[in-house]
Structure 1
Amino acid sequence: MSFDDLDKSTSPDRGPAALGSNLKRRRLFQGAIAAGGLAAAGAGGLGLAAAQESTEDVGALAVHPGLLHTQADFDRMRAKVNAGLEPWLSGWNKLIANGRAQSTWTARPTAVIIRGGDGQNYPQLYNDIHAAYQNALRWKVAGTTAHRDKAIEILNAWSNTLTAVNGNADRFLAAGIYGYQFCAAADIVRGQSGFDLGAFQDMMTSIFLPMNNSFLTNHNDACITNYWANWDLCNMASKLAIGLICDDNAIRDQAIDYFWNGEGNGSIENAVPFVYSGGLAQWQESGRDQGHSIMGIGLMASIMEMAWNQGIDLYGANDNAFAKAAEYVARYNLGHDDLPFTLYSWGTGQNCAYQEHTVMGAGGRGQARPVWEMVFHHYTARKGFAMPNVGTICGTNSPEGGGGDYGTTSGGFDTLGFGTLAHVRLTWDEMPDNLKPLG
């Protein structure tokens, strides 16, 4: 099975209630209806109220820019690159060498995108999304308006062309992965002259959001455990990002609630089912293979970073369970075999046929993916925790690139990347000596 071939088996309606057809083509602006606070149930030891305590007015509009990057992040990137400091300069050079980061990029907007089955054409979408993101990032660091204008051009072209995302079950992967990535790019140029925010919001709420809701509610009519964590996580990420880009707190809150309480494998207790002593935790897909395990680390980190930038701490959920899982996945992919593994069982298909993993899945072990800097620098630079395995894998893969630097197939575009430029906060020499153990 290739990295891009995920289980496509097809149970009754499970999960949070769908938003309903009345959300089609919906967008909210300043003065729109504000949602209530986040639900307080099932917060796994942290509590939604506590997780959000730094956000005093939950009815307020989202912070912009505030998906994967804030203005403070852009200011830091610009200052470090202008000063010629490492590793940010190497991260910058990695960005500007990418063919998608050029203002000469030619977009290929398409009315119907297909992922899975006959007529697949989805590389046109993911290449253009990464070109929009990379050009927007390049503008924010260097101030080059040609790159800003290219990002706007790409986003507007797709907003005014795309009508559907189709295919077999993989269409839900497309709706999730490319939904959150689209929003991350748009958030950077939001408010710039010429960017049609309304058309973009319409595209996200009429095409992507209904698919995200459908999957998180029904899981393609499969057993609730049939689909791996990645499937939930990408649709959770898209739903959260859409809530933020549309300043719609109801959508945002549903995504956050699913993180805590969702029945599928993307919720925190299902994605990290076994926590061990010594700062390690088993990831839900660890018995499957490492390509998908690393992909899952990147997706959950993106969800947590978007929430963090809005004043909501998901990183600390369940006593930093995600950090322990990241350490676990990183350690195995560094070549260590001294990790505990608990038998993991689940049901597949529509009838929940029994399956189990008894050992670690070695497929794709050691592959490079640009997911680690975001994780490492939250837990170390922001929170002061030691992450020796994630830190080592960061050093091994530095500088992180982005879409186009890790092959041409979709697996190389699952994360927007460029974490060395965007997420490094301290050099190795600046790291404090008294980092806390994860436990």
Structure 2
Amino acid sequence: MKIRNILTGAFDRTRVAAALLLLSSATLPGHGSAAEAGVFVHPGTPLTLADLSALKAQVDQGREPWKSGYDLLANDGKSRLTYGMAGPYATVSRAPDLNLWPWRNDMTAVWNLSRMWYFTGNQDYAKKAREILLAWATTQTEFSGRESMLDLGDYAYMFVGGADILRGTWQGWSDDDTAVVKKYFKDVLMPASNPYGENQFGAANKGALALVALGLMAIYNDDAEALDKVVYQTRTLAHIGLRSSNDIGMLGDSLRDQGHAHGQLKSLVMLAEALWKQGIDIYSDFDDRLLAAGEYFARVNELAPTIALPFGTTDAYYTADYTNRGWGGGNLVLNQVYGAYVLRKGMQAPFIAQRRGWMPVDSGSFMFLKEADASTATPAPAPALPIPMSTSVTTGLSSINIGGATPAGTATYAGGKWTVQGAGAEIWGTSDSCYFAYQALTGNGSIIAKVDTVQNTNLSAKAGVMMRTSLDQGAPRAWMAITNRIQAEQNMQNLAVYGGNNYGNKTLPIASATPSYWLKLERIGNVITGYISPDGTNWAATDVGRINDPLPDTIYVVAPEQSHTA
């Protein structure tokens, strides 16, 4: 699909040639629904009783490296009966930090002490873990700060996992204890896991941390509705979930730095593992995407020659890899990926295997080290997800001159391309002015275009794609465009956007020496996502907004043309 901007006539009009792809709803195979299953496995966030039993057998037999991992755990100060509780406090905050390290230390102690109880059978460890957890659960009323979700995601498998071990293995744990912890999670920690509102997650690593925190706590709370929402978001939100990736295994933060890439991978895999234990398989999604992501991460950090494609997030778009390749972490998550794909499914993961061969086992990673895994996820049928598929648009475009754009524009189709001529002042602000060749779209769908050239009619000349809720000037809308400055521009007017205007409205670099790039807008429900791509395949979600007004059944999509004729 090509779009060309050509100066014609004396009115500084913009002429566009395009072959458009309009996308309507297609489906992704359904996942298991927690609401349909109605039964949660405890413990199972993500370690089950079978997992714990197998680990204990390895430790009791003195087998390596499990025994060394256990010894490191036992010698940790937060694993001892002499550990002094650092809290609790009513308020914890990250960015700004307040009482953060006491919370971190005590949540780690809950995880360590609950494991020590299981490995030793000494109930004093369980009692101490319970004391710490319930002290926080009955004292803390707020977890605030701009980055609250980062700690909740990083520590979720510890404080939820520890609580789940106590609940599922220790007879001294009561139903009242479970109720207290559930209330703590629901009223204090879950709201802080995503304080920005529905679907308004931070980018990539930050959003993935929010998802794993919400998912693990939903499982502990036996909250099928909340868990189904997390699964849906993980599978559809392209700036944080499984779709924040590409076919070669890059994640949204892969070109930011290896530490943040690891954080995004670890969060998604930890969530996938906990879901698997509840009978929900997202490991298979997008052609085993988490295996590709694990292999890409391992390959890059084993310093093997590895292609990097332009990619990014709503934080930033990266056109090359300048990251700290050779980063030293990742043993825990790579153990999980290896277990999920190599041991369970018999698939190959050569770079993960290579990296696991030399990485040291520590007091956390040995918990996810296995020799075999015959567990299965057998989900009940569930509704498929509306991931759009493309079809060419060759007829049926209507048009309008929005905001009094003159002279009037035209749109014709011939030779596999749409030729669109139009004018207008600007489309950034509330009083947008452009020629809009469009088609009405009911329900979910997307629009793709490739801008081939943009002629230098004006510094503000641009061509691209737009979605808007109505044809009125100033209507809520989103657009993606390429300018003659060899940049991408994105804009979301009157939509709720995480980070506000600094995220929703900005310019981005493109990996091209000419003003030529692929653009896409996608609507799923009340969320509109903007993408850019060098090849029409490797799509990076760089803009995400939510329609807060009454959700229209029909929106208007395709090509706005603006050559700045004011």
TM-score (norm. length: structure 2): 0.57
Aligned to 2:294: 326
CA distance in 1, matches of 2:157, 2:211: 9
Q: Is the 8 A contact 1:163 1:207 kept in 2?
A: yes
Q: Is the 8 A contact 2:208 2:268 kept in 1?
A: yes
CA distance in 2, matches of 1:250, 1:399: 37
- Structure 1 residues 216, 62: CA separation in 2 closer, same or farther (over 3 Å shift)? farther
Q: Deviations over 1:213-254 (max 9, x none)?
A: 53462537xxxxxx3311111111121112111111101111
Superposed counterparts of 1:36-435, under 5 Å: 44=28, 47-48=29-30, 51-52=31-32, 58-107=36-85, 108-117=87-96, 119-167=97-145, 169-179=146-156, 181-190=158-167, 192=170, 193-194=172-173, 196-215=177-196, 217=198, 219=200, 227-263=202-238, 265-270=239-244, 272=245, 274-276=246-248, 281-336=249-304, 338-348=305-315, 355-363=316-324, 365-369=326-330, 370-401=332-363, 418-426=364-372
Unaligned runs of 5+ in 2: 1-24, 374-566
CA RMSD in angstroms comes to 2.3
- Structure 1 residues 240, 115: CA separation in 2 closer, same or farther (over 3 Å shift)? same
Q: Is the 8 A contact 2:108 2:155 kept in 1?
A: no
Aligned length: 343
Aligned to 1:268, the other structure's residue is in SS state coil
Aligned to 1:113, the other structure's residue is in SS state strand
- Structure 1 residues 155, 139: CA separation in 2 closer, same or farther (over 3 Å shift)? same
CA distance in 2, matches of 1:391, 1:299: 20
**How much has 1:120 moved relative to structure 2?**
3.1
Structure number with the bigger relative contact order (C-alpha 8 A, sep ≥ 6) is 1
**How much has 1:359 moved relative to structure 2?**
1.9
CA distance in 1, matches of 2:277, 2:310: 36
- Structure 1 residues 305, 178: CA separation in 2 closer, same or farther (over 3 Å shift)? same
AA at the equivalent of 1:287: L
AA at the equivalent of 1:201: K
CA distance in 1, matches of 2:136, 2:341: 36
CA distance in 2, matches of 1:422, 1:176: 18
CA distance in 1, matches of 2:26, 2:163: 32
- Structure 1 residues 308, 59: CA separation in 2 closer, same or farther (over 3 Å shift)? closer
- Structure 1 residues 197, 385: CA separation in 2 closer, same or farther (over 3 Å shift)? same
**How much has 1:155 moved relative to structure 2?**
0.6
Unaligned runs of 5+ in 1: 1-40, 221-226, 349-354, 402-417, 428-439
Aligned to 2:323, the other structure's residue is in SS state coil
**How much has 1:171 moved relative to structure 2?**
2.1
Q: Is the 8 A contact 1:179 1:204 kept in 2?
A: no
Aligned to 2:292, the other structure's residue is in SS state helix
CA distance in 1, matches of 2:270, 2:224: 18
AA at the equivalent of 2:353: G
Aligned to 2:423: none
CA distance in 2, matches of 1:87, 1:426: 15
Aligned to 2:511: none
- Structure 1 residues 66, 346: CA separation in 2 closer, same or farther (over 3 Å shift)? closer
**How much has 1:98 moved relative to structure 2?**
1.7
What percent identity do the matched residue pairs reach?
A: 25
- Structure 1 residues 122, 320: CA separation in 2 closer, same or farther (over 3 Å shift)? same
- Structure 1 residues 197, 371: CA separation in 2 closer, same or farther (over 3 Å shift)? same
Q: Is the 8 A contact 2:199 2:233 kept in 1?
A: no
**How much has 1:63 moved relative to structure 2?**
0.6
**How much has 1:194 moved relative to structure 2?**
4.8
- Structure 1 residues 135, 309: CA separation in 2 closer, same or farther (over 3 Å shift)? same
Q: Which has the larger radius of gyration?
A: 2
Q: Deviations over 1:345-366 (max 9, x none)?
A: 5555xxxxxx431222423742
**How much has 1:175 moved relative to structure 2?**
3.8
**How much has 1:116 moved relative to structure 2?**
0.7
- Structure 1 residues 307, 112: CA separation in 2 closer, same or farther (over 3 Å shift)? same
Aligned to 1:214, the other structure's residue is in SS state coil
Aligned to 1:52, the other structure's residue is in SS state coil
CA distance in 2, matches of 1:42, 1:249: 25
**How much has 1:311 moved relative to structure 2?**
0.8
